[in-house]
Amino acid sequence: MDKLKLTGKKKIIKVRDLEIGAEKPIFIAGPCSIESEEHIIDEANNLKKIGVDILRGGVFKPRTSPYDFQGLGYEGLEYFKKAADNVNLPIITEVLSEDDIEKMIDYVDIFQVGSRNMYNYSLLKKLGKTNKPVLLKRGFSATIKEWTMAAEYIAMGGNEDIILCERGIRAFNDYTRNTLDLAGALVAKNLTGLPVIVDPSHGTGRRELIGPMTDAAIACGLDGVIIETHRNPDTAISDAKQTITYSDYEKIRGKYL
Ligand code: PEP
Ligand code: MN
């Protein structure tokens, strides 16, 4: 085995004045997709009041159907940055293609690599050459070895500011969207030393499970959560069933303030 860079030594990632992987769990929240300028301004203003550390919002959306809404692209990214700057919050959004890294880099605080792109080694290698933190989601059929080695692809280039995200894996379950593998998340944390957060939204696909799975993730020592919110979840353009209201988010968040 070649010499690994991620050896299990505990790493804390700094994003502005936040420390990810330190004592306090990090809360990332926001819509699955940014739908309009007015929409993301509303999300940013409301989540800021309730308590959020980092805003999430998709502008390049990897949808199952190519005919479904694909995100607002760079126009959405402009709206996102403006809305977040207004309330002084950092942002995370998914980078789908390595061709977008250079253009996105001045906007984002953290690059998100989605589940579908965990095996996109050329994207990972290119992110490894940047100086921005990367949130690496677990591929939905990835083993722990494949996931931690994907992180190694980023680290290899010199960028060790990596946050892992367990977002559920495919099993035989037909009631939840995915099966949230908290034990696997802990194993990945111990093996790499990186902070590991949990996505209970994609991990379950069901609103009523977001609170309990957040509590479970924090209880077992993981480093935070990323949660999908919307002012009117049933009308969300994507992932409505797993999206929660601001007030439900506030109840979950409030326990850890
Ligand atoms: C997302 O967080 O918006 C997303 C698409 O998640 P995943 O890559 O885990 O499916
Ligand atoms: Mn989503």
With bands split at pLDDT 50, 70 and 90, how would you rate the model's confidence at 172?
A: very high
138 ligand 1 Cβ < 6 A? no
Residue 122 to residue 144: CA distance in whole angstroms: 20
Burial class (CB in 10 A: 0-12, 13-18, 19+), 183: exposed
pLDDT digits (tens, 9 = 90+) for 80-93: 999 999 999 999 99
Residue 160 scores a pLDDT above 80: yes
Mean pLDDT along residues 113-131 = 98
With bands split at pLDDT 50, 70 and 90, how would you rate the model's confidence at 1?
A: low
- C-alpha dist (Å) from residue 177 to 117, 144, 215: 19, 20, 19
Residue 117 scores a pLDDT above 70: yes
Task: Say if residues 53 and 28 touch (Cβ distance below 8 Å).
Answer: yes
Find the ligand nearest to 236 CA. 2
Residue 179 to residue 246: CA distance in whole angstroms: 25
Ligand 1 pocket mutation, candidates 33, 199, 210, 229, criterion most atoms within 8 A of CB: 199
Task: Say if residues 253 and 224 touch (Cβ distance below 8 Å).
Answer: no
- Specify the DSSP element, H or E, that contains 21: none
203 ligand 1 Cβ < 6 A? no
Residue 234 to residue 118: CA distance in whole angstroms: 29
- Nearest ligand 1 atom, CA 138: 9
Query: What pLDDT is stored for residue 54 in this prediction?
Result: 99
Residue 2 scores a pLDDT above 80: no
- Nearest ligand 1 atom, CA 117: 8
- Nearest ligand 1 atom, CA 201: 2
Query: What pLDDT is stored for residue 152 in this prediction?
Result: 98
Q: Which of helix, strand or coil describes residue 158?
A: coil
Query: What pLDDT is stored for residue 153 in this prediction?
Result: 98
Mean pLDDT along residues 192-197 = 98
- Specify the DSSP element, H or E, that contains 79: helix 73-86
pLDDT digits (tens, 9 = 90+) for 19-71: 999 999 999 999 999 999 999 999 999 999 999 999 999 999 999 999 999 99
115 ligand 1 Cβ < 6 A? yes
Residue 128 scores a pLDDT above 80: yes
Ligand 1 pocket mutation, candidates 32, 43, 137, 237, criterion most atoms within 8 A of CB: 137
Q: Which of helix, strand or coil describes residue 166?
A: strand
Q: Which of 56, 55, 53 is nearest to 27 (CA)?
A: 53
Burial class (CB in 10 A: 0-12, 13-18, 19+), 255: exposed
- The average confidence (pLDDT) of the chain is 98
Beta-strand relationship, 134-137 and 91-94: unpaired
Q: What percent of the chain has pLDDT over 70?
A: 99
Task: List the structure tokens of 102.
Answer: 């250079």
Residue 191 scores a pLDDT above 80: yes
32 ligand 1 Cβ < 6 A? yes
Distance 69 CA to ligand 2 centre (A): 12
Q: Which of 141, 164, 167, 169 is nearest to 151 (CA)?
A: 164
Task: Say if residues 99 and 77 touch (Cβ distance below 8 Å).
Answer: no
With bands split at pLDDT 50, 70 and 90, how would you rate the model's confidence at 257?
A: very high
Task: Say if residues 111 and 130 touch (Cβ distance below 8 Å).
Answer: yes
Find the ligand nearest to 201 CA. 2
pLDDT digits (tens, 9 = 90+) for 91-112: 999 999 999 999 999 999 999 9
